[in-house]
Amino acid sequence: MRKKSSLYLMNLTIQDILQWIESNIAEPLPLGVLAKKSGYSAWHFQRGFKQIAGMSPGVYIRYRRMVIAKALLSETHRSITDIALQLGYQQQSTFCRAFREQYQLTPRQYRLHVQEQATQE
């Protein structure tokens, strides 16, 4: 019974952290800050996070930033630099590299692709 209740508590904690990450996505979010916010040691937090979210905190944060970036690139005309800064990247080049690694396209190529798709419809 005790193991079940501690797993339930960890689940609630991780759900709260996931919401907090969404609200603070543009901020630096090192593991130590997330673990401290959760009340667990870094080791226990990372282990519980991966068990519940299916990926490590760092991978999850990068994934969420890229999903938001895709939406901003396709739904707005904001500059790539503005989007990079909004998502917490210090430099546009770092953002572009992360985007290309995730989607095999640069942000500019992705935006052009989306625009081409829209004109074909």
Same domain as 50, residue 9 = yes
Same domain as 74, residue 107 = yes
CATH number at residue 38: 1.10.10
User: What is the rounded average pLDDT for all residues in the chain?
Assistant: 94
pLDDT at 108 over 70: yes
Same domain as 67, residue 48 = no
Residue 3 has what pLDDT? 66
- Domain hosting 15: range is 2-54
Supply 87's token pair: 């998502």
CA angle (93 as vertex; 78, 103 as ends), nearest 5: 75
Q: How many domains does the chain have?
A: 2
Same domain as 65, residue 50 = no
Same domain as 65, residue 33 = no
Q: What is the pTM of this model?
A: 0.89
How far is the CA of 31 from the CAs of 21, 40, 46, 76, in angstroms? 12, 11, 8, 31
> Rounded to whole angstroms, how far apart are CA atoms 39 and 1?
21
Same domain as 66, residue 38 = no
**Residues 97-106: what's their mean pLDDT?**
97
How far is the CA of 118 from the CAs of 60, 76, 83, 100, 110, in angstroms? 30, 13, 21, 22, 12
CATH number at residue 97: 1.10.10.60
Residue 1 has what pLDDT? 46
pLDDT at 2 over 80: no
For the stretch 88-93, contacts whose Cβ atoms lie closer than 8 Å and that sit 24 or more positions apart, written own/partner, are: 88/25, 88/26, 88/27, 88/28, 88/29, 89/65
